[in-house]
Amino acid sequence: MRKRIWLTTAFIAIIFGACVMTCCNSDDDRSVVSPTDDSSQFVTLTEAIPDAILEIRYYSTYNFVGQRIDGYEEPTALLTKQAAAALKEVSDDVKAQGYRLKIYDAYRPQKAVNHFVRWAQDLTDTKMKQYFYPDLDKSVLFPQGYIAERSGHTRGSTVDLPLFDMATEKELDMGGTFDWFGPESHPDFCGNPETGEYTGDNSKSPSEPKRSITAEQFEHRMILRRAMLSHGFKPIDTEWWHFTLKDEPYPDTYFTFPVKQLSK
């Protein structure tokens, strides 16, 4: 989500007919945008991974906006066929370690992007501030890069997820809230994600007293990260939960169909 805003309003207007920006999880620097409502190359994620646990946050009201997001018509998750196949390999990997995948978000339609824009522009709407961005004034979300022009999720091969512990039958403690706007969400918070070493360095936390995560919580993030990278996904440096298929099939295509069960 933390990428600079680099397309001009005029260019976006030509492409989408209006100035469209995407909140959260933009991880691309592409100049070609091809919108389409063709869902033929997508699958419902639970068909590929039947035991995946879904908690689709943008279908619920527990998200940084505080209401169901436009375009999420059913509490399901969709991905391109290629991304779903790779994620099935991840699922098999973590199941052998005693975990299951829990999905917060996968494909995200452009209609959801537009909803994020409207929310971001209304500086009076801060009802979810204490839960997702307590250290930030809402007015800085654009200039500080927490909101970008568009999201890799809309290309269909990006997923947001934690792990679920089969032994405790609870979500694994990852040391942070999904969509938390702050350095505590960075993979390198309190450790080195390249080596997997926990350092305890929480100096980037803006709160007083400073927030931190434990060595166990950091390791939980690393278990997820290692599994995702081992099966063809790439991370970003601002969100421990966000991964995109490295060889995504539609790198320049932004999809517009809603999130709901696909017709067979």
Q: Going by DSSP bridges, is the β-strand pair 34-36/253-255 parallel, antiparallel, or unpaired? A: parallel
Residues with catalytic roles: 239
* Residue whose C-alpha is closest to residue 117's, from 150, 140, 143, 144: 150
Where in 193-262 does DSSP place strands (E)?
197-198, 233-235, 242-245, 253-255
Residue 207: name the closest of 101, 142, 134 by CA.
Answer: 134
Buried b (16+ CB within 10 A) or exposed e, 140-168: ebbeeebbbbbbbbbbbbbbbbbbbbeee
Rounded to whole angstroms, what are the CA distances from 52 to 61, 70, 91, 154, 238? 21, 24, 8, 21, 24
Identity of the amino acid at 155: R
Distance of alpha carbon 256 from alpha carbon 246, whole angstroms:
22
Q: Tokens standing for 50?
A: 């039947």
Residues 6+ apart with CB under 8 A from 153: 25, 105, 106, 107, 108, 160
